[in-house]
Structure 1
Amino acid sequence: MGNTDNIIDVTEETFEADVLERSEEVPVIVDFWAPWCGPCRMLSPILERLADDPDYDFILAKVNVDDNPNLSMEFRVQGIPAVLAFVDGHVVGNFVGAQSEGKIKEFLQEVIPSEIDEELDEAKSLLATHHWKTAETAYRQILISNPEHPVAMINLARALLAQGKGCEAIGYLQDCKDGQELAQAERLMPLARQLCDAKTRWSDEDEISAIEAQFRQAIRLYERGNISAALDGLIGVLRQEKRFRKGLARDIMLATFELLGESDNITLTYRQELAFVLF
């Protein structure tokens, strides 16, 4: 075994502290092995070498199944070598049998949170708590080192939209070209375009109808970051004309729900109101 603090022997008595509790701070990879196991002798040196590698931040915890049978039963280890990855006290991945170093590296990359994963989690929590400006700063910082990261781009667009910055948000939405980020960008785009129009095309001297004026007032409320009041205004528009501007008022409400997320209290409240008005 390597002479390093990253590699430890674990027993039934120390498992809770050395694995479950420790995994709250750093990922712990548990290697279930036995002295008589040939494949274990192939796998263990690779795991130990990677535990010493500065590119991989984890603790390697080795469990001798002969000496610790209760741990094998608790985690349903039926064959060895067996490897379980623990993060935040929970198993987040596993494999059984000897693997190549390349396969093990792929496994580690999947189960060990990277620095950018942690940055994304922190920024996402800022969005969830409506700290829009701080979230904007966090996502801009992520994009400096990862300029094409799709999650950072779509969520930066969300933070911008929540502050009424539609024109800038459009650029990031247009850069989302694949997968779920593309679908999310398409749902957010109606709001972005109207916020941009409010900045660049609307004038107080425009001759418009009363309902158009009410719609524009709702968008102006978005510009000032007053999302709930803006949604109230859109509900008022829809009560008068459900298909206002070919469904644009509805589409902007749906874009708002996409911006905030389905579990947000504002979304839950106004989705009910929207359904009541439309149906």
Structure 2
Amino acid sequence: MSDAAYILEGTVDNFDRLVVENSKRGLVIVDFWAPWVGPSLKQREIFVDLAKRYQGRFLLVSINTDEQKPLAERFAVRSLPSFKLFHQGEMVAEFHGVQPEADYSRIIDEYVQRQPDPISREAIAAWQAGDPEKALQLLAEAVLADPENLALPALMSKILMRQQRTRDAHALLSSLPEQARDAVEVRNLLAHLDIIVTAEDADPPTTLMQRLQADPKDADSLYQLAAVRLVGDDLEAALKLLLEVARSHPGYRNGIARKAMRAVLDQLDAGDEQVAHYRRELYRLDY
């Protein structure tokens, strides 16, 4: 694992010092994993990426349950992956199973205050004052100076959307490198924009349905019809169509159907049975 100061390996001997004591100064996430559990390896990668992105605003302690069985027993870890949050000297939350990727940042942000971004604040102030072009110029200059800060193009795209410039917003985020397009700050926003643009460009629903009668696995028609249904607030029909694309054509447009499903589900009540059903279906596709 990385030797960064904010990503550490936990053991029976150092647990209280690394976790309990450090949690009195800030958030500590304890990730229980095992090398033979595929989903736990996926979660571990997500946490390592987030730890690097948050630059020390939380401490990640990774525990291999094969090597540290007493810790797994101490915290009643019965399934993997599992992670627990420690804050102010106590365990404050625990989660079992892989979570939707966007949820990890939301969980962390409940306990970690992100550093304020002066450029973003200035851009928002300009937009609120009725000068969106100044806001966009400020952000464009900031992107050139700090291309790793993905919050900047994300904010640019939101301002463009408010100006009814959906295609410009979509083009902006689509032009980012692939790794940036898959980042938490960008992925869901880009998926929403893609749905809107696809729905605008789609053929009439009757035409799409005729094509699907001739070829029920036509990925383009399935995805276009899903976009039309989603923009038309027919959520159940849209999710069924997106799931069909994800199942039948997992590589279609770099997995856009799965990304769109996650973006939609992340906006809905996690306790809703419909949401839970489609999250389970996504989990089956991933693992």
Fold conserved between structures, TM > 0.5: no
Asked which structure has the greater CA Rg, the reply is 1
TM-score, structure 1 as length reference:
0.39
TM-score, structure 2 as length reference:
0.38
